[in-house]
Structure 1
């Protein structure tokens, strides 16, 4: 019988997909955002999607619906408040950080055998509130509920994902840890005997139809060419073609300047000085418009990658499908909602908060790469099987594994 999962803060369902690929039965998911929930429903048919703010779900309801029926409660509380690239570097602590407490409240109500939390590396040093470090809170709270706790930072490229993505995974177990809950790397840069080589950006996306600025469609179209490698064959499996593959609209001037942008360089560096470029750089933002290098894994796909990365060969930013490929989403995984969206600040300024949903680009950039989710899911399956077969809930020592990036 497949162990059952409740996925909290489920987003579009990258973690759910990975856990499903590892043999878990995802029973229900909680997600507040309309477009992300639409994507989840389309790609996880048969899973109950509870579209709600987790704070509105009473503990009694969670207990009645799920206690005794769920083996694993998993999820990634919103990470923006823990990222070191945002306002946190100036001492700002987001109200969203307290959603970690909501995750713990759900665990207390459901009482699963295993707990899995995923978040950005900055989670290790972040705070729920001033003077309240999130890791210290989480470890103490889970141990108080009878779980032993282990944590480790995993790099997505080590598990067959063609893009960098360093994330912390925290596991709580009622069984203890007779074996590690974390997977050994399967891929490496030097292609050791016990691993496969990293998958490069170009290996991941080279078979997708070539597009010029503004070209492409959202619905499925034929590939136009055959797969060039095993990764592309895996991504195509079961898909009728390519969807969510629309190029951004760019002015002729921007296209011209992208053509002059070498791989590995940034738009900020193009035309900063000199008589030939009096108009200044392509962008005033140092992290925007970085041309990806074809023969290595992509840089980390972020929630605003529509302006962050330039295709390694074509003079345009990435499409949603190209980013999904780099995150290891199969081609039959369709993303709902608009491709891009105005910022929350802009929509609030003009009284349009009711339009504030996660775009396709946001959904992809916020998610767990399915291959990474699958890798840790397989280890959790092994842990469950090993412990349940022994009927021993007290095995293992209380410890915390923590590894720096």
Structure 2
């Protein structure tokens, strides 16, 4: 079979709702299955990716199990985004040495060593690059014969409408693959306006009749007064004194300037977190409507298409679990950029494969 015509198939570890898989699919890669232990991910992954969701802990997955899932005679990719809580900048100063998540990247490396796929890609928070667990992962890849590249990628350069940075790693058995550069420059970044301006207006606490995910969390009377006193890109310093909290009045209040404020229409959004539906946890106020952004708006700012399904029809749309799934997802546009260079590299892959 001509190498350039071989299909590329992928397995997604820690797949979540399918952000990484969706981006890989957009680049022409066949996603065969996704693994995760969060049962809430099953419906969105299978609905949007049209691939098997396997509810299984990575510690129990075997190489033989994965080998049966890749498409026969394809160029094989093992992809994943190990949970990054121990490496998150939000947890600096906390003792995470005993947390079980530290071992997950090690099991990713184990599965690479057991299956030797043609290519590997991993996405995570940039801070992980300085940790021993990440360097150990690289050593496993190099010992298994991979050339490894990685760098911190700035989301707006890839068309992501938010100021998010993610570390992207690519490893290949068949020569170096450079991390793709984004096609967007300052001045043509995708802004909040370009991303969400056309969505129907809703008020605080309301849900769009045609889209259950376009749902805004209710604001208290105090927070309604606060958001009405807020300006895009501003802070609580724009409020009259009677609306400020005691913490704002203390000298240390300056550390809270990035909360309780509105997004700006003509800039990318701030980093979308698992609590992006909450006005008080960041710059998550809508630019002009008196409410926090909706779950749908958070998903679109993560670069999911407006039609992406997160909740089975008829099931309740709950802020905390759905916000967590959206905030933890790999932005599909970054995954798509990675997928394109993997597909372009397939012509160098050995027709004999690389499995043990």
Please give the range of the TM-score, normalised by the shorter of the 2 chains. 0.7 to 0.9
Which residue of structure 2 aligns with residue 167 of structure 1?
Answer: 166
- Which blocks of at least 5 consecutive residues in structure 1 are unaligned? 127-132, 191-196, 222-241, 342-358, 395-405
Give deviations 1:121-148, integer Å, cap 9, x for gaps. 111113xxxxxx1232011101111111
Corresponding residue for 1:10? Answer: 15
Match of 2:103 in 1: 98
1:110 aligns to 2:107 (yes or no): no
Secondary structure of 2:89 counterpart: coil
- Find the counterpart in structure 1 of residue 318 from structure 2: 339
Instruction: Tell me the equivalent position of 2:344.
Output: 382
Counterpart for residue 402 of structure 1: none
Deviations 1:253-291 (A, max 9, x none): 311210101111234x465x84x4476479988243331
What count of residue pairs does the alignment treat as equivalent? Answer: 334
Relative distance call for 1:316 and 1:214 in structure 2 (3 A) is: same
Hey, what does 2:205 align to over in structure 1? 214
Work out the CA distance in 1 between the residues paired with 2:157 and 2:293: 23
Q: TM-score scaled by structure 2?
A: 0.86
After superposition, what is the alpha-carbon deviation per residue over 1:207-251, rounded to whole angstroms, capped at 9, x for unaligned? Answer: 00111111114x7x2xxxxxxxxxxxxxxxxxxxx4510111112
CA RMSD, 1 decimal: 2.6
Check conservation: 2:295, 2:319, Cα contact below 8 A.
Answer: no
Q: Using the TM superposition, give the Cα deviation of residue 370 of structure 1 relative to its aligned residue in structure 2, in angstroms.
A: 1.0
Residue 305 (str. 1) matches residue 276 (str. 2): yes
Q: Distance in 2 between matches of 1:61 and 1:266?
A: 52
Question: For the structure 1 residues 60 and 246, does the alpha-carbon distance in structure 2 shift closer, same or farther, using more than 3 Å as the test?
Answer: same
Structure holding more helix per residue: 2
> Which runs of 5 or more residues in structure 2 are unaligned?
1-5
Cα distance between partner residues in 2 of 1:3 and 1:60? 19
2:227: which partner in 1?
258
Which residue of 2 is the match for residue 346 of structure 1?
none
Q: Does 1:39 align with 2:54?
A: no
Aligned counterpart for 1:329 among listed residues 295, 301, 304? 304
2:162 corresponds to 1:187:
no
The answer to whether residue 332 in structure 2 is matched with residue 370 in structure 1 is yes
Q: 1:329 to 1:135 in 2, by over 3 A?
A: same
SS in 1 for 2:34: strand
Q: Is the 8 A contact 1:245 1:319 kept in 2?
A: yes
Q: How far, CA to CA, are the matches of 1:42 and 1:393 in structure 2?
A: 31
Cα distance change on mapping 1:150 and 1:73 into 2, 3 Å: same
Distance in 1, matches of 2:100 and 2:212, equals 36
1:248 aligns with 2:217: yes
Given that residues 62 and 109 in structure 1 are in contact (C-alpha distance below 8 angstroms), is that contact kept between their aligned partners in structure 2? no
